[in-house]
Amino acid sequence: MTNAIVAEGLVQRFGDTTALAGVDLAVRTGTVLGLLGPNGAGKTTAVRVLATLLRPDQGHATVGGYDVVREAHQVRRLIGLTGQYASVDETLTGAENLILIGRLLGLPRRDAKARARELLAEFRLDDAADRAAGKFSGGMRRRLDLAASLVGRPRLLFLDEPTTGLDPRSRNEMWDIVRGLVADGVTVLLTTQYLDEADQLADEIVVIDHGRVVATGTSDQLKARTGRQTVTVRPSAEADLDMIVALVRLVAAGPVDATGGVVTAPVTDPGALAHLVRRLDDGGLAVAELALRSPSLDEVFLSLTGRPAPEGVPA
């Protein structure tokens, strides 16, 4: 499988600030890459370089096989860009915004209008077609932003924090739309500060912090990188609690916690669960719940960057 987007050693400075300090990444054609990081990590700068809006100070990148600096015009023919920094004209109506893009892309007036109608219907914005975009709700506005980047049917889509600030329902709608696009074969580079968003949508995740890539891999690989899982046991009878704590301690790789009548402990040994089940069985101890849980991406983030995930991250 070929790479639709490749970046090597991207460096971008703004005065004394280094926004990108040598970023490498690759997005395979037809997949979703999640660029995950806190505010100010360099996500938007990376997207702006790849979408030809910024010239990198060092390094190079290709999009669809074209160099983003030397062949910027060809890159622009292939991409769609949606995000905090690429948006629609608030004074124009939904329809006018889409017609404007269609006309700029060279569609004849009639085709531009037809394409606008098609997209408005697809994104359930037909009722708002003749209303100024500035009066749209947050979710409608994002859908219109996304529709505007799809007028030219791009094969490559950059989504810069597509759901930041949206309520859960609008966020789910946005996710469904993105999944639909991917099903049609569109390659997506998505930036997000929401760990669950990357978990939900991305085939591969690149974690970025202070302009550097701190980890790359699938969601599962990243979770495995922390090297520990959590075992949870809830006794059926409260009287068994102490005995179960003693058994869990035998397999635990760290402190055992028994608050609230639930025993939890970190484990690293892959055989820990089987071992624990045998011991429980031997001791004739009944449990109401027994589970081995992978670390959440929040925990992964903490272990990779040494900082907790940014505030306001939904579970």
Partner 1 sequence: MTVLAAEPRVRIADGLRHTGTLAWRTLVQIKHNPFELLDFSVQPVMFLLLFTYVFGGAIAGSPGDYLAFGLSGIIVQNLLFATLNTGVGLNTDLSKGVFDRLRSLPIARWSPLAGRIVADMIKQAWAVALLLGVGMILGFRVATGPLEVLGTFGLLLVFGMAASWMSVLVAMLVSAPEKVQIFGFVLLFPLTFASNAFAPTDSMPGWLQAWVKVNPVSVLADAIRGLLNGGPVAGPVTQALLWAAALLAVFAPLSVWAFRRRV
DSSP 209-260: ETTEEEEEE-HHHHHHHT--EEEEEEESSGGGHHHHHHHHHHH-SS--B-GG
- Considering only 17, 39, 58, 104, the residue that binds partner 1 (CB under 8 A) is 104
**Beta-sheet pairing, 58-63 with 3-14:** antiparallel
Among 2, 39, 89, 314, binds partner 1 (CB under 8 A): 89
Judged by CB under 8 A, which of 51, 174, 186, 297 binds partner 1?
Answer: 51
Q: Is 115 in the site for partner 1 (CB under 8 A)?
A: no
Is there a contact between 301 and 219 (Cβ–Cβ < 8 Å)? Answer: no
Q: How many residues bind partner 1 (CB under 8 A)?
A: 36
What residue type is 149 in one-letter code?
Answer: S
Q: Does 258 bind partner 1 (CB under 8 A)?
A: no
Q: In what order do the strands lie in the sheet with 263-267?
A: 263-267, 229-235, 287-293
* Cα–Cα separations (whole angstroms), residue 46 to 4, 11, 12, 53: 15, 9, 9, 10
Query: Which residues, listed in sequence order, are joined to residue 67 by a DSSP beta bridge?
Result: 62
| Position 114 contacts partner 1 (CB under 8 A) | no
Q: How far is the CB of 219 from partner 1 (least distance, A)?
A: 29
Centre a 10 Å sphere on the Cβ of residue 238 and count the other Cβ atoms it contains. 8
- Selected range binding partner 1 among 47-55, 200-208, 245-253, 284-292, rule: CB under 8 A: 47-55
Min. distance of Cβ 262 from partner 1 in angstroms? 48
Applying CB under 8 A, which of residues 13, 60, 103, 179 lies at the interface with partner 1? 103
Chain contacts with partner 1 (rule: CB under 8 A) = 48, 51-54, 67, 70-74, 76-77, 79, 81, 83-93, 96, 100-101, 103-106, 132, 148-149
